[in-house]
A and B are shown apart, each in its own frame.
Chain A
Amino acid sequence: MTLLEALSAGQPISTMPNSSLLAPWWIAPGGSRVELPLEPAVVHAADFVVEVSASMTLGALNEELAAHGQVIPFDPATSDPGATIGEHLDLSLPQRTDARFGSWRDRLLRATVRMADGRAATSGSLVVKSVAGFDVHKMLVGARGSLAIFERVVLRTSALAAWQAIQLPELPSFTAIAVLRPGENPPSGGTFDAESGQWFGAEANESCPWFHPALVQRPVMSDPVQRMLFVRAKQAMDPHGLLNPGAWGDLG
Chain B
Amino acid sequence: MRGILAEDQILAGPAAARAYDCDAYTIDRSKPSVIVFPNSTAQVAEIVRWCAANDVPFTPRGAGTGLSGGAMPALGGVVISLKRMTRILEIDIPNRRLRAEAGLANTKITDAVRERGLHFAPDPSSQSVSTLGGNIAENSGGPHTLKYGVTAPHILAATLVDAQGEILELKSGGPGPDFLSVLVGSEGTLGVVTESLVNLTPIPKHVETALGAFATVRDATECVATIMARGVTPAALEMMDRNILGALRAAFGLTYPDDTAALLLIECDGDDAAAVQAEMAEVRAAMETWHSIQIQVAQSDADRAKLWTARKKGVGAMGRLAPSVVTHDGVIPRSKLPEMLDFVYECAARHGVGVANLFHAGDGNLHPIFYFDDRDPGQVSAVVAAGEEIISKCVAMGGSVTGEHGVGVEKASLLKLMFSAEDFALQEMVRPIFAATTMCNPCKVIPDQKGCVEHMRRWRGVAT
Residues of chain A within 8 A of B404, CB atoms compared? 129, 131
What is the CB-to-nearest-CB distance from B98 to chain A, in angstroms, rounded to a whole number? 14
Proximity bits, A42-53, B CB within 8 Å = 1, else 0: 001111110000
Asked whether A127 lies within 8 Å of B332 as measured between CB atoms, the reply is yes
Which residue on chain A has the smallest CB distance to residue B401? A132
A106 nearest CB across to chain B (Å) = 6
Residues from chain B with a CB closer than 8 A to the CB of A218 are 174-175
Q: Is B172 in the interface zone, CB < 8 Å from A?
A: yes
Chain A positions within 8 Å of B360 at CB level: 129
Question: Given the complex, which residues of B lie within 8 Å of A56, measured CB to CB?
Answer: none
Give the residues from 142 to 156 in chain B that come closer than 8 angstroms, CB to CB, to chain A: 145, 149-150, 152-153, 156
> Is there an interface contact between B418 and A48, defined as CB atoms closer than 8 Å?
no
B139 CB within 8 Å of chain A: yes
Q: Is the CB of B400 within 8 A of A141?
A: no
| Cα-based distance from A221 to B423 in the complex (angstroms) | 27
B225 — which chain A residues lie within 8 A by C-beta?
A: 46
Q: Please give, as numbers and ranges, the residues of chain A lying within 8 Å of B138 by CB-CB distance.
A: 131
Known interface pairs A130-B331, A130-B400, A131-B407; A221-B176 also in contact (CB < 8 Å): yes
Complex CA gap A241/B170 in Å reads 25
Which chain A positions have C-beta within 8 A of B125? none
Q: Which of B177, B185, B360 has the most CB of A within 10 A?
A: B177
Q: Chain B interface: which size bin?
A: 35 or more
Residues of chain B in range 161-185 having any CB-CB distance to chain A below 8 Å: 168-179, 181-182, 184-185
Q: Given A48-B228, A214-B171, A236-B433, is A130 in contact with B422 using a C-beta cutoff of 8 Å? A: no
Task: Decide: A136 and B427 in contact? CB cutoff 8 A.
Answer: yes
Taking A127-B331, A131-B406, A132-B415 as contacts, is the C-beta distance between A142 and B363 under 8 angstroms? no
Task: Scan A65-77; emit 1 where CB is below 8 A from any B CB, else 0.
Answer: 0000110000000
Contact B175 A219 (CB under 8 A): yes
Chain B residues lying within 8 Å of A46, measured Cβ to Cβ, are 225, 228-229, 333-335
Query: Which chain B residue lies CB-closest to A248?
Result: B176
Task: Flag if A134 contacts B176 (CB, 8 Å).
Answer: no
Q: Are A236 and B432 in contact (CB under 8 A)?
A: yes
Q: Binary interface profile of B, 387-409, with partner A (CB < 8 Å = 1, else 0)? A: 00000000000111111111100
> With an 8 A cutoff between CB atoms, is A33 at the interface?
no
Give the shortest distance, in Å, between A46 (CB) and chain B (any CB).
Answer: 4
The answer, yes or no, to whether A215 is at the interface (CB within 8 Å) is: yes
Distance of A211 Cα from B169 Cα, bound (Å) = 21
Chain A min CB distance to B362 (Å): 9
Taking a contact as CB atoms under 8 Å apart, the answer to whether B333 and A121 are in contact is no
Contact among A147, A159, A219, A235 with B231 in the assembled complex (CB-CB below 8 Å): A159
Q: Which residue of B lies closest to A232 (CB)?
A: B433
A113 at interface (Cβ–Cβ under 8 A)?
yes
In the complex, A103→B152 CA distance in Å? 12
A215-242 contact mask (Cβ, 8 Å, vs B): 1 or 0: 1111111110110011011011100000
User: From DSSP, what is the main secondary structure of chain B's interface residues?
Assistant: loop
B343 interfacial contact with A, CB 8 Å: no
Q: Across the two chains, which residue of chain B brings its CB closest to A198?
A: B174
Q: How far is the CB of A90 from chain B (nearest CB, A)?
A: 10
Q: How far is the CB of B143 from chain A (nearest CB, A)?
A: 12
Give the residue name and chain of the A residue nearest to B407 (CB).
A132
* Cβ contacts under 8 Å, A49 to chain B: 333
Whole-angstrom distance from the CB of A141 to the nearest CB of chain B?
7
Query: CB-defined interface of A83-115 with B at 8 Å, one 1/0 digit per residue?
Result: 000000001101000000011011000000101
Contact B171 A223 (CB under 8 A): yes
B-side contacts of A214, CB under 8 Å: 156, 171-174
**Contact at A233–B177, with CB atoms within 8 Å?**
yes
Known A-B contacts A129-B141, A132-B418; A221 and B175 likewise in contact (beta carbons under 8 Å): yes
Instruction: Report the bound CA distance from A92 to B182 in whole Å.
Output: 16
Given A129-B364, A233-B433, decide whether A140 and B422 contact each other with a Cβ distance below 8 A.
no
The answer to whether the Cβ of B435 comes within 8 Å of any Cβ in the partner chain is yes
B54 close to A (CB within 8 Å): no
A130 lies within 8 A of B333 (CB):
no
Let me know if A229 and B426 touch, CB within 8 A: no
Q: Which residues of B contact A235 (CB under 8 A)?
A: 432
Q: Measured between C-beta atoms, what is the minimum distance from B142 to chain A in Å?
A: 11
Using CB atoms, name the residue of chain A closest to B174.
A214
* A residues near B175, Cβ cutoff 8 Å: 91-92, 142, 217-221
B445 lies within 8 A of chain A by Cβ: yes
Q: Are A161 and B231 in contact (CB under 8 A)?
A: yes
Assembly CA distance A221 to B433 (angstroms)? 16
Q: Is the Cβ of B176 less than 8 Å from the Cβ of A126?
A: no
Q: Give per-residue flags for A111-153: 1 if the beta carbon is below 8 A from chain B beta carbons, else 0.
A: 0010100011111011111111111101111111001100000
Q: Contacts A142-B176, A215-B173, A225-B170: A134 and B399 contacting too (C-beta < 8 A)?
A: no
**Would you call B120 an interface residue if the criterion is a C-beta within 8 Å of the partner chain's C-beta atoms?**
no
Give the chain A neighbours of B427 by CB distance below 8 A: 123, 133-134, 136
Q: How far is the CB of A133 from chain B (nearest CB, A)?
A: 5
List of A residues within 8 angstroms of B419 by Cβ? 122, 132-133
Query: Are A182 and B185 in contact, CB atoms less than 8 angstroms apart?
Result: no
Partner of A136, one of B94, B411, B426: B426
Q: Which residues from A are CB-within-8-Å of B299?
A: none
Q: Mark B317-343, 1 if CB is under 8 A from A, else 0.
A: 000000000000001111100000000
Other A-B contacts than A126-B333, A220-B175, 5 sampled, CB-CB below 8 A, are: A105-B178, A122-B419, A123-B426, A134-B427, A235-B432
Q: Could you pull out 26 A-B pairs where Cβ atoms are within 8 angstroms?
A: A47-B333, A47-B334, A47-B335, A119-B425, A120-B422, A125-B400, A127-B403, A129-B365, A129-B403, A131-B139, A131-B400, A131-B406, A131-B407, A132-B400, A132-B407, A133-B446, A136-B427, A140-B177, A143-B177, A148-B426, A214-B174, A225-B171, A226-B171, A230-B177, A236-B432, A248-B176
What is the interface of chain A, defined by CB distance below 8 A to chain B? Answer: 44-49, 69-70, 91-92, 94, 102-103, 105-106, 113, 115, 119-123, 125-136, 138-144, 147-148, 159, 161-162, 181-184, 212, 214-223, 225-226, 229-230, 232-233, 235-237, 248
**The 4 residue pairs across chains A and B that have the minimum distance between CB atoms:** A183-B94, A159-B231, A214-B173, A130-B400
Residues of B within 8 A of A (CB): 94-96, 138-139, 141, 145, 149-150, 152-153, 156, 168-179, 181-182, 184-186, 225, 228-229, 231, 331-335, 360, 363-365, 398-407, 411, 415, 418-420, 422-423, 425-427, 429-430, 432-435, 445-446
